[in-house]
Amino acid sequence: MSRILVVDDDEVLVKTLVAIFRRAGHTVLAALDGESGLACARAGAPDLIILDVMMPEMDGLEVCLRLRRDPQTRPIPVLMFTALDEPELRARAGLAARGASDDPPLEEEILADDYITKPVIVDDLVRRVNTLLWIASVC
């Protein structure tokens, strides 16, 4: 079974995802803001991160960028869990990357491995998580 980190500022949603994935036999770590999410990603060595985009202070895109720029967390698959659609997500990702560093960002630095829009049926979310975990295990 895997270690999954959930980062979202919606506490009830985090509790729900923790309950779902824990019941499925995974170890689940949780963080309610971007800064704690980064700390958990570094200390907890998760196999996958489910990351909310719209969070106060440090949003999910900036968290994702920082994860990608840290050699320790770079290989961890990230699933963006967002109410935004893909074009909006890409536009915001570009802005986040430009704001976080003077260096021009590489596309693979900004983008998550996959994204899924809120709200979602639990089965769809679990399937997407399992696919990402499987890809990570064979790559």
Partner 1 sequence: MSTSILIIDANLADLERSKSALARAGYGAEIAQSGAEGLARASRLRPRVVMIDSFLPDMEWQQVATDLRQGPSGAKTTVIMLAEQTRMGSLLVGQPSPADDVLIKPFSTAEVSTKLRDLLGQSDTPGRGAVVSTGNAELDSKMGGGIPLGSLTLIEGGSGAGKSVLSQQLLWGSLQDGFKAAVFTSENTVRSLIRQMQSLNLDVLDFLLLNRLRVYPMEIARLGAQAPDAIMEAIEAERHRDMIFVDSLTSAITQCSDHEVLGLFEECKRLCSSGTTVLAVLHSHGVTKELVIRLRSLCDAHLQLRTEEMGQKLVRALEVTKVRGAEKSTGNLITFEVEPGWGMRLIPVSRMKG
Neighbours of 63 (CB within 10 A): 29
Q: Kindly tell me which of 91 and 120 has the beta carbon lying closer to partner 1.
A: 120
User: Shortest gap between Cβ of 25 and partner 1 (angstroms)?
Assistant: 12
Q: Kindly tell me which of 121 and 139 has the beta carbon lying closer to partner 1.
A: 121
**Token pair of 127 as six digits:** 């399937």
Q: Kindly tell me which of 64 and 125 has the beta carbon lying closer to partner 1.
A: 125
DSSP conformation class of 49: E
Q: List residues binding partner 1 (CB under 8 A).
A: 12-13, 15-17, 19-20, 23, 27-29, 40, 43-44, 81, 83, 118-123, 125-126
User: Shortest gap between Cβ of 135 and partner 1 (angstroms)?
Assistant: 22
Give φ, ψ of 86 to 5 degrees.
Answer: -60, -50
Q: Which residues pair with 31 in a beta bridge?
A: 7
Q: Kindly tell me which of 90 and 118 has the beta carbon lying closer to partner 1.
A: 118
User: Shortest gap between Cβ of 71 and partner 1 (angstroms)?
Assistant: 21
DSSP conformation class of 24: T
Cα 59 to Cα 24: distance, rounded to the nearest angstrom: 28
